[in-house]
């Protein structure tokens, strides 16, 4: 699929799931860097002076992030465990103690009990995986008779062959050790698909009450369904398949249920359609589940430009993509006859990538029969309930926590769990007031990062720093500081990124016309988690107030986006070393001063970035891409495709000189970078776009004209030639 932005991340989602917006299409949010990139400590109302490095008061914040208040609460599940990009959580039939989680870029882990301290691999697929954006391990379903036969089905991707962007596999594996792990050599390939693009892979799996395996397959990728697979039931893309895998063998890995819509006894027998297809017209059904009480199948379908949708899946149902997006026409003059409208939808003003959920069948919440679902980008959690006034259904916002939700699960009692993709944690949905709570300063003056009596002055113990190449933030002036805990030391990693100890805070202040209007904190909490916080300055400039979520407003005559905490984490990922701009390639004279003060340990050989106007055109362009894109576009990052835009990567190895794998934006004979031809270069088109093709897709509301001009000059001069 997601989680995202994204983002540069799941276009959708990312999980997970997304690309064109952003996992679940992915993208990076230029406004969520929390002080890690671009610009310098360039003056303004806030001035920390030049105290001895690290001496004096510094930030002092709670050991864990706050939990949002709402109609329900959240409580940490499996508190001793954390995961690497988890996207799916489940249990095998008949085993109420053991849990299994998919790590998208590695395989499947398992453990038993709420207090487990280790989750070893049950199936390590890293030796065969192709990981990029939405690719990786995507789905897991246990045979209803797993206790006897030890069979489970897995969806994963490998490197594309025969011109495909990626190869999609549905395989059966057989368990070892009494059902606690799987033999990787027991793989029986059930179905393979050659994906034309690397995104919109679907991959959700579920056994229905009829004993058949239901499989979601995305539309094949790119933006706008360029191959028209959504409305073509003769292929397997953009569909949910229904397979009989009860007697899978090497010669016949699955059979066709006789009543499938296009099978001999189906609704559309004799009409054109693949016999595996159960429903179609879906863009990227990232997650689906059966209602334990009614047997109904529900799916969340990740949207394109405007709408995210929840669908109740019926045999032979056509859900409209790409004639429609949600209940609106996507194609001009779309034909709607025979198309099924969503049960619920929400616009991209409320979220960017839906994560399908489950129908609640527990006892702890007054939500029995409600379908719970979430948004990957904003973290919002909704309940879809029957509306007796209309005879339909109505959605109700339950909670707006700062998580990128990538998957739902249910325990044997029907209670609901959620996976936070970038945080790598699992959470239980509990009654309001029963979740974990941590106080967090509501005013900037209460954080310890500033003088409480004069909040425009940073605390003496903060370390000011500048970066060599600014990250684009819609032209705002910026200043940044680092707060290390008492006795804390930053450590230089192999690639030159700084690893910050728990208790560290990165502070970034944004200004227009010399006045601060936003201050962001990127906190490494004592519990090991990272979180971003945005403080909006009051009109009188005396203090700033913590925002609960994202906000868009006019600042000094210009639209500005304040990011939510979930948006911050879509870019500040572990693979990008979280802080982004705190790396040797970006820092200057601060490095020597911090070393001398004993605040920095370790060394790495790196070449410094250069400014946008540097005479070395190639170095300037590559520095721009590193500062603005590489935190998503690198191996293991949430960015779309297989780009590696880090500064130290050779151009030939960066992927920039290839054909686009995430859509050509309608450009004839497009390349990501077409040597000497900016008009054929998708990279430049995405930098200049302010719509769905925008990269990064979140946060920035203005084109970086100077940056775009420099990239255009670089391409025109023959980059990639």
Q: pLDDT tens across 240-290, in order?
A: 999 999 988 888 999 999 999 999 999 999 999 999 999 999 999 999 999
Whether residue 209 sits in one domain with residue 150 = yes
Tell me, yes or no, whether 136 lies in a domain: yes
Whether residue 424 sits in one domain with residue 509 = no
Beta bridge partners of 559: 554
Whether residue 502 sits in one domain with residue 415 = no
Tell me, yes or no, whether 680 lies in a domain: no
Q: How far apart are CA 287 and CA 240, in angstroms?
A: 11
Sign of the C-alpha dihedral computed for residues 693, 695, 701 and 705 taken in this order: negative
Whether residue 545 sits in one domain with residue 415 = no
Strands (E), 489-641: 490-492, 498-499, 505-512, 515-524, 530-537, 544-546, 551-555, 558-562, 600-601
Tell me, yes or no, whether 238 lies in a domain: yes
Whether residue 236 sits in one domain with residue 132 = yes
Q: Residue 633's pLDDT band (boundaries 50, 70, 90)?
A: confident
Q: What is the pLDDT of residue 626?
A: 94
378: Cβ contacts below 8 Å, ≥ 6 apart: 350, 351, 352, 400, 549, 550, 564, 566, 567
Question: Each residue of 54-82: b (16+ CB within 10 Å) or e?
Answer: beebbbbbeebbbbbebebbbebbbeebe
Q: Report which of residues 53 and 596 the model is more confident about.
A: 596
The secondary structure of the chain in percent helix, strand, coil, rounded to multiples of 5, reads 10, 30, 60
Q: What is the pLDDT of residue 369?
A: 96
Whether residue 276 sits in one domain with residue 244 = yes
Among candidate residues 581, 596, 611, the one where a domain is terminated? 596
Rounded mean pLDDT of 30-50? 40
pLDDT at 475 over 60: yes
Tell me, yes or no, whether 47 lies in a domain: no
Percent of the chain with pLDDT over 90: 72
Backbone angles phi, psi at 679, to 5 degrees: -65, -20
288: Cβ contacts below 8 Å, ≥ 6 apart: 204, 206, 214, 216, 240, 297, 298, 299, 300, 313, 356
Q: What is the pLDDT of residue 22?
A: 34
Whether residue 528 sits in one domain with residue 425 = no
The CATH number of the domain holding residue 204 is: 2.120.10.30
Place of tokens 């038993």: 112
Identify the CA nearest to 4 among candidates 22, 400, 172, 389: 22
* Residue ranges making up the domain that contains 110: 80-348+406-431
Q: How far apart are CA 624 and CA 7, in angstroms?
A: 18
- 8 A C-beta contact, residue 319 and residue 302: no
Q: Residue 635's pLDDT band (boundaries 50, 70, 90)?
A: confident
243: Cβ contacts below 8 Å, ≥ 6 apart: 190, 191, 212, 213, 214, 215, 254, 255, 256, 257, 276
Whether residue 459 sits in one domain with residue 587 = yes
pLDDT tens for each residue of 433-471: 776 666 789 999 999 999 999 999 999 999 999 999 989
Rounded mean pLDDT of 589-618? 95
Q: What is the pLDDT of residue 24?
A: 39
Q: How far apart are CA 668 and CA 688, in angstroms?
A: 18
Q: How far apart are CA 16 and CA 156, in angstroms?
A: 13
Strands (E), 314-415: 324-325, 328-329, 344-347, 354-359, 371-375, 381-387, 392-399, 405-410
Among candidate residues 570, 596, 622, the one where a domain is terminated? 596
Residue spans of alpha helices (H) in 142-274: 146-149
Residue 541's CB: how many other CB atoms inside 10 A?
13
Number of domains observed in the structure of the chain: 2
pLDDT tens for each residue of 181-225: 999 999 999 999 999 998 999 999 999 999 999 999 999 998 889
Whether residue 178 sits in one domain with residue 148 = yes
Q: What is the pLDDT of residue 36?
A: 39
C-alpha triplet 196, 200, 206: angle, nearest 5°: 120
Whether residue 448 sits in one domain with residue 427 = no
Query: Does the global pTM surpass 0.85?
Result: no
Q: What is the pLDDT of residue 392?
A: 81
pLDDT at 54 over 60: yes
Percent of the chain with pLDDT over 70: 91
Q: Residue 41's pLDDT band (boundaries 50, 70, 90)?
A: very low
Q: Residue 18's pLDDT band (boundaries 50, 70, 90)?
A: very low
Q: Residue 641's pLDDT band (boundaries 50, 70, 90)?
A: low
Identify the CA nearest to 126 among candidates 71, 96, 84, 64: 84
Distance of CA 376 to the CA centre of its chain: 7
Rounded mean pLDDT of 619-624? 97
pLDDT tens for each residue of 476-520: 999 999 999 999 999 999 889 999 999 999 999 999 999 999 999
DSSP 37-82: SSS----SS-----PSTT-S------SS-----SSEEEEEESTT--
Distance of CA 269 to the CA centre of its chain: 40
Q: What is the pLDDT of residue 28?
A: 32
Distance of CA 101 to the CA centre of its chain: 17
DSSP 278-323: EEE--S-EEEEEE-TTT--EEEEE--SSSEEEEEEE-TT-B--TTT
Tell me, yes or no, whether 361 lies in a domain: no
Rounded mean pLDDT of 78-99? 96
DSSP state of 444: G
Tell me, yes or no, whether 529 lies in a domain: yes
pLDDT at 123 over 90: yes
pLDDT at 628 over 80: yes
Tell me, yes or no, whether 675 lies in a domain: no
Q: Residue 132's pLDDT band (boundaries 50, 70, 90)?
A: confident
pLDDT at 638 over 80: no
Q: What is the pLDDT of residue 707?
A: 96
pLDDT at 163 over 50: yes
Tell me, yes or no, whether 424 lies in a domain: yes
Among candidate residues 596, 615, 639, the one where a domain is terminated? 596
Whether residue 479 sits in one domain with residue 412 = no
Whether residue 321 sits in one domain with residue 214 = yes
Q: Report which of residues 450 and 12 the model is more confident about.
A: 450
Q: What is the pLDDT of residue 66?
A: 79
């Amino acid at each position: 699929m997601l989680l995202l932005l994204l983002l540069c991340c799941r276009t959708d989602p990312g999980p997970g799931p997304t690309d064109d917006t952003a996992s679940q299409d992915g993208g990076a949010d230029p406004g969520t860097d929390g002080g890690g990139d671009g610009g310098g400590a360039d003056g303004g109302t806030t001035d920390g002076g030049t105290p001895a490095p690290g001496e004096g008061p510094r930030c002092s914040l709670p050991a864990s992030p706050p939990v949002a208040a709402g109609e329900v609460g959240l409580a940490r599940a499996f508190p001793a465990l954390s995961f690497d990009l988890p996207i799916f959580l489940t249990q095998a039939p008949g085993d109420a103690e053991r849990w299994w989680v998919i790590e998208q870029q590695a395989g499947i882990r398992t453990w038993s009990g709420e207090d487990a301290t280790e989750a070893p691999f049950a199936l390590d697929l890293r030796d065969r995986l192709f990981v990029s954006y939405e690719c990786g391990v995507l789905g897991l379903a246990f045979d209803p008779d797993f206790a006897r036969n030890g069979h489970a089905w897995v969806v994963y991707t490998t490197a594309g062959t025969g011109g495909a962007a990626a190869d999609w596999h549905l395989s059966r594996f057989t368990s070892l050790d009494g059902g606690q792990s799987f033999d990787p050599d027991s793989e029986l390939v059930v179905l393979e698909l050659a994906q034309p693009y690397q995104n919109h892979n679907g991959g959700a799996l579920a056994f229905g009450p009829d004993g058949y395996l239901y499989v979601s397959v995305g539309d094949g990728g790119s933006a706008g369904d360029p191959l028209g697979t959504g409305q073509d039931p003769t292929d397997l893309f953009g569909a949910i398949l229904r397979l009989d895998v009860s007697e899978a063998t090497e010669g016949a890995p699955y059979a066709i249920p006789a009543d499938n819509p296009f099978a001999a006894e189906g609704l559309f027998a004799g009409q054109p359609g693949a016999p595996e297809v159960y429903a179609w017209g879906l863009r990227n059904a990232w997650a689906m589940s059966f209602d334990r009480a009614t047997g109904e199948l529900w799916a969340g379908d990740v949207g394109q430009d405007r709408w995210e949708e929840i669908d109740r899946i019926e045999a032979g149902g056509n859900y409209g993509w790409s004639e429609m997006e949600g209940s609106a026409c996507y194609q001009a003059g779309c034909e709607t006859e025979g198309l099924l409208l969503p049960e619920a939808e929400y616009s991209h003003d409320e979220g960017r990538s839906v994560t399908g959920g489950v129908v609640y069948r527990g006892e702890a919440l007054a939500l029995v029969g409600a379908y719970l679902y979430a948004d990957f980008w904003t973290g919002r959690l909704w309940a879809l309930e029957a509306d007796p006034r209309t005879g339909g259904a109505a959605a109700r916002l339950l909670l707006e926590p700062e998580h990128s939700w990538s998957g739902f699960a249910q325990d044997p009692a029907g209670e609901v769990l959620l996976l936070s993709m970038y945080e790598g944690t699992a959470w239980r949905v509990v009654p309001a007031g029963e979740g974990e709570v941590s106080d967090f300063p509501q005013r900037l003056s209460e954080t310890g990062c500033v003088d409480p009596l004069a909040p425009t002055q940073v605390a003496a113990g903060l370390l000011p720093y500048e970066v060599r190449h600014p990250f684009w933030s819609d032209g705002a002036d910026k200043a940044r500081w680092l707060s290390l805990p008492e006795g804390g030391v930053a450590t230089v990693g192999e690639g030159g990124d700084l690893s910050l100890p728990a208790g560290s805070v990165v502070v970034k202040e944004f200004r227009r016309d010399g006045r601060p209007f936003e201050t962001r904190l990127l906190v490494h909490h004592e519990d090991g988690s990272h979180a971003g916080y945005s403080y909006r300055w009051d009109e009188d400039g005396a203090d700033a107030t913590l925002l609960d979520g994202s906000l868009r407003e006019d600042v000094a005559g210009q639209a500005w986006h304040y990011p939510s905490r979930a948006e911050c984490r879509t870019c500040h990922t572990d693979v990008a070393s979280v802080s982004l701009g705190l790396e040797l390639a970006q820092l200057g004279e601060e490095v020597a001063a911090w070393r001398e003060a004993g605040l920095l340990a370790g060394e790495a050989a790196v070449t410094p970035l250069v400014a946008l106007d540097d005479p070395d055109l190639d170095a300037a362009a590559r520095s721009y891409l590193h500062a603005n894109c590489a935190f998503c576009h690198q191996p293991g990052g949430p960015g779309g495709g297989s780009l590696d835009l880090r500064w130290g990567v050779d151009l030939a190895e960066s992927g920039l000189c290839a054909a686009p794998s995430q859509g050509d934006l309608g450009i004839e004979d497009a390349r990501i970078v077409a040597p000497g031809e900016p008009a054929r270069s998708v990279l430049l088109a995405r930098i200049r776009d302010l719509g769905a093709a925008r990269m990064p897709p979140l946060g920035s509301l203005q084109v970086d004209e100077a940056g775009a001009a420099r990239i255009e000059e670089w391409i025109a001069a023959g980059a990639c030639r």
